[in-house]
A and B are shown apart, each in its own frame.
Chain A
Amino acid sequence: MTVTTPQNTPVTEVPKSSGTRLVDRVFKMRELAILAVFLVMIVITQLGNSEFLTEQGIKDLLLNATILVLVAVGQSLVVITRNVDLSVGSTLGISAFAAGTYLQGGGNAVVAVALAVLLGIGFGLLNGLLVSLGQVPALVVTLGTLYIIRGIDSIWVGSRQITAADLPDGFVDFGSGGLSAVPYLALIAVVVLVATAYYLKHFGSGRELYALGSNPEAARLAGIPVRKRILVAYTFCGALAGLAGALYLARFGNVDSGTGNGYELTVVSAVVVGGVVFTGGSGSVYGAALGALLLTSINSVLPALGVSSVWVLAINGILLILAIAVDRVVALRVAAALKKRNARHG
């Protein structure tokens, strides 16, 4: 197979057309919009409560987002392939408990994390196999595995629980410690995030995830190993859910059979707010991470502003709707502008 590569084309300067930059901007725009909303929110809160952005405050903000960011990054990969993984909450719960059980006997922290990740990979593989080999709707299958994993977790865990007292001190300290205002956990999340984003943009298999989410039939015809890619996306998502489980343990020092219950809705919200489209093929992990940051921050901002917790849920929901609505309106405007330009020079 030969490819017409630039060897035989003159390496003259490629003129970046105006349309290009505009298209780029459309995508950046969505992330910028979320970032802007986030910043405005933070600034308002700081004005209303000067304690908000102390070192401790920033640390809390970042720590709160960490776990959701990780799971949301994994979820976006799956959503980009036009699938979904609803079982992440259950996976998080069971791997957190597994890591905890291991550490209870005074095990090695690194091994515990590895254990959690491996367990996550296992469940990710299961989902991936069902979805890609069985070729069945992801929503149903992962709703099924959500129940199955949750059930297994509760049968296994029963009423046992892991508390901070059972864990090695180093592990728990790691969960709340950091380099001044930047927690270690947040650093891990950032590394994962940047690496994933780089992979998606600059590697063939990463681009193929977008391709097959955009048009599965065309992906098949283009010779993309569709099943393999979907399997990889699910496995990665499971691995991150597992990792998040281990970090959850470190952070909260407290795991029982209910851990991670209902988390899938939060994760899906973060991904959606972050502009990853449910019909696949578009969106970025940065967006998803920003969505996660936004969502968790709302939960810190409202109490910090002294908003009664009775109002929190309603405000949360309304903000969520506003975020996606504003994002949509902006996107529509830009798309309209883009179309007009195209029509003129086309």
Chain B
Amino acid sequence: TTKEDVKSESTASAASAGKADPNAALKKGLTVGFLPKQVNNPYFTSADKGGEAALKELGSSYKEVGPSSATDTSGQVSYVNTLTQQQVDAMAVSAQDPGALCTALKQAMSNDIKVVTYDSDTKPECRNAFVSQASAEDLGRTEVQLLAEQIGYKGEIAILSAAQTATNQNVWIDFMKDELKDPKYKDIKLVKTVYGDDDAQKSFQQTQGLLQEYPNLKGIISPTTVGIKAAAQYLSGSKYKGKVKLTGLGTPNDMRKYVKNGTVEGFELWDPSKLGELAARTSVALVSGQITGQEGETFTAGDMGEFTIGKDGVISLGKPTVFTKDNIDQFNF
């Protein structure tokens, strides 16, 4: 059997069946399980807290399970199984791997459990809907725009990403490259993409290496909270502080110091707690039958307003917020 054979026999199967009833009442007393990539990860904790608050408001209960390592895919699969066994009504999953969770998630869906992915998606047929932190396109393009402005549209830049396999980072990086094709960036050269595996020490050393290899480097984009923090820490303790610009995705609490001491001018992020909240509300809407995950369906997510389901069941949170020293003190996450 070859890849071609498989391709020809596979038909895109719709993940969800049934018909949506936009006016259905929201059910109460549901249990929604949150399964982040890693428990104890501040970002996910913050997201899941958002989910918890929303569920409480909706009269449903929340639980969080998950592996203690962000690369323990088999652990995550076991947790999908666990949630299935516990017969939760819906689960919100941030997938460590787009494919590995599929079998287990399909198993869950066939047991009448609604599956929402958030932050990191799986293959579309393995879940009912994906709550995206911001459209990948927005994120990728705005990061380039941010940095270009800081370095005056001129000079060498590099990317410090997370793991080489991190799905969302890779999509953003593709959009970054696409954005750079615009003629207004003709003096900017992306020299290299390196991977810090979301490990502080490794990201730290990768930053060092970048600066040694490209002494003329003007800027770094790090689309990962761990990476940007490590890079900022290195820059702030080195002679490059303030000279090499750094931007990307980070949390205000992590980056406050570096923004204040001049290492970083500006960076961006969505509010993770909003992401979690939307995931929770989407789950409840799915269970209640307001939506099924088909393109074009709409639903109201409490105070957050109305959302429309896009292609492949993607629901987008909206544009990210840019943090600078002027506004950073207004945020606490």
**A–B direct touch in complex (beta carbons closer than 8 A):** yes
Question: In chain A between 41 and 77, which residues have their CB closer than 8 angstroms to a CB of chain B?
Answer: 49, 51-52, 56-57, 60, 64
Count of A-B contacts judged by CB separation below 8 Å: 97
Could you say which of A258, A304, A310 has the most chain B C-beta atoms within 10 Å of its C-beta?
A: A258
Cα A157 to Cα B38 in complex, Å, equals 14
Q: Is the beta-carbon distance between B212 and A52 smaller than 8 angstroms?
A: yes
Kindly identify which residue among A57, A159, A252 contacts B200, using a CB–CB cutoff of 8 Å: A252
Cα A303 to Cα B196 in complex, Å, equals 12
Stretch of A101-109, A132-140, A160-168, A194-202 contacting B (4+ beta carbons < 8 Å): A160-168
Q: Does B42 contact A (CB under 8 A)?
A: yes
Cα A51 to Cα B230 in complex, Å, equals 21
Stretch of B125-133, B168-176, B203-211 contacting A (4+ beta carbons < 8 Å): B203-211
**A-B CB proximity, top 6 nearest:** A303-B209, A176-B237, A165-B257, A159-B45, A304-B212, A257-B40
Q: Does A204 contact B (CB under 8 A)?
A: no
Question: In chain B between 39 and 94, which residues have their CB closer than 8 angstroms to a CB of chain A?
Answer: 39-42, 44-46, 68-69
Interchain Cβ contacts under 8 Å between A and B, 5 examples: A51-B212, A51-B215, A56-B239, A163-B257, A304-B212
Known: A160-B42, A254-B200. A303 touches B233 (CB 8 A): no
Q: Does B164 contact A (CB under 8 A)?
A: yes
Q: Is the beta-carbon distance between B206 and A303 smaller than 8 angstroms?
A: yes
Q: Is the beta-carbon distance between B209 and A159 smaller than 8 angstroms?
A: no
- Which chain B residue has the least Cβ–Cβ distance from A257? B40
Q: What's the minimum C-beta distance from A191 to chain B, rounded to whole angstroms?
A: 22
Cα A309 to Cα B159 in complex, Å, equals 12
Q: Does B229 contact A (CB under 8 A)?
A: yes
Q: Does B303 contact A (CB under 8 A)?
A: no
Q: Does B9 contact A (CB under 8 A)?
A: no
Q: Is the beta-carbon distance between B212 and A252 smaller than 8 angstroms?
A: no
Could you say which of A164, A172, A300 has the most chain B C-beta atoms within 10 Å of its C-beta?
A: A164
Q: Is the beta-carbon distance between A259 and B200 smaller than 8 angstroms?
A: yes
Q: Does B195 contact A (CB under 8 A)?
A: yes
Please give, as numbers and ranges, the residues of chain A lying within 8 Å of B308 by CB-CB distance.
none
Q: Does B213 contact A (CB under 8 A)?
A: yes
Q: Does A256 contact B (CB under 8 A)?
A: yes
Q: Is the beta-carbon distance between B208 and A60 smaller than 8 angstroms?
A: yes
Give the contact-size bracket for chain B: 35 or more
Please give, as numbers and ranges, the residues of chain B lying within 8 Å of A254 by CB-CB distance.
200, 229-230, 233, 254
- Which chain A residue has the least Cβ–Cβ distance from B257? A165
Q: Does B194 contact A (CB under 8 A)?
A: yes
Q: Does B256 contact A (CB under 8 A)?
A: yes
- B contact patch SS: helix
Please give, as numbers and ranges, the residues of chain B lying within 8 Å of A252 by CB-CB distance.
200-201, 204, 230, 233
Q: What's the minimum C-beta distance from A304 to chain B, rounded to whole angstroms?
A: 4
Q: Is the beta-carbon distance between B238 and A163 smaller than 8 angstroms?
A: no
Please give, as numbers and ranges, the residues of chain B lying within 8 Å of A160 by CB-CB distance.
42
Q: Is the beta-carbon distance between A164 and B257 smaller than 8 angstroms?
A: yes
Q: Is the beta-carbon distance between A49 and B212 smaller than 8 angstroms?
A: yes
Q: Does B236 contact A (CB under 8 A)?
A: yes
Cα A263 to Cα B215 in complex, Å, equals 30
Please give, as numbers and ranges, the residues of chain A lying within 8 Å of B103 by CB-CB distance.
none
- Which chain A residue has the least Cβ–Cβ distance from B48? A159
Cα A309 to Cα B205 in complex, Å, equals 11
- Per-residue CB contact flags for chain A residues 282-304 toward chain B (1 = under 8 Å, else 0) read 00000000000000000110111
Q: Does A261 contact B (CB under 8 A)?
A: yes
Kindly identify which residue among A52, A161, A172 contacts B42, using a CB–CB cutoff of 8 Å: A161
Q: Does A158 contact B (CB under 8 A)?
A: yes
Q: Does B300 contact A (CB under 8 A)?
A: no
Q: Is the beta-carbon distance between B44 and A300 smaller than 8 angstroms?
A: no
Q: Does A336 contact B (CB under 8 A)?
A: no
Q: Is the beta-carbon distance between A303 and B40 smaller than 8 angstroms?
A: no
Cα A306 to Cα B215 in complex, Å, equals 12
Known: A56-B238, A252-B204. A154 touches B213 (CB 8 A): no
Q: Is the beta-carbon distance between A57 and B42 smaller than 8 angstroms?
A: no
Question: In chain B between 145 and 191, which residues have their CB closer than 8 angstroms to a CB of chain A?
Answer: 164
Cα A160 to Cα B236 in complex, Å, equals 23
Please give, as numbers and ranges, the residues of chain B lying within 8 Å of A51 by CB-CB distance.
211-213, 215
Please give, as numbers and ranges, the residues of chain B lying within 8 Å of A238 by CB-CB distance.
none
Question: In chain B between 195 and 237, which residues have their CB closer than 8 angstroms to a CB of chain A?
Answer: 195, 200-202, 204-206, 208-213, 215, 229-230, 233, 236-237
Q: Is the beta-carbon distance between B42 and A303 smaller than 8 angstroms?
A: no
Q: What's the minimum C-beta distance from B221 to chain A, rounded to whole angstroms?
A: 16
Q: Does B321 contact A (CB under 8 A)?
A: no
Q: Does A332 contact B (CB under 8 A)?
A: no
Cα A171 to Cα B227 in complex, Å, equals 22
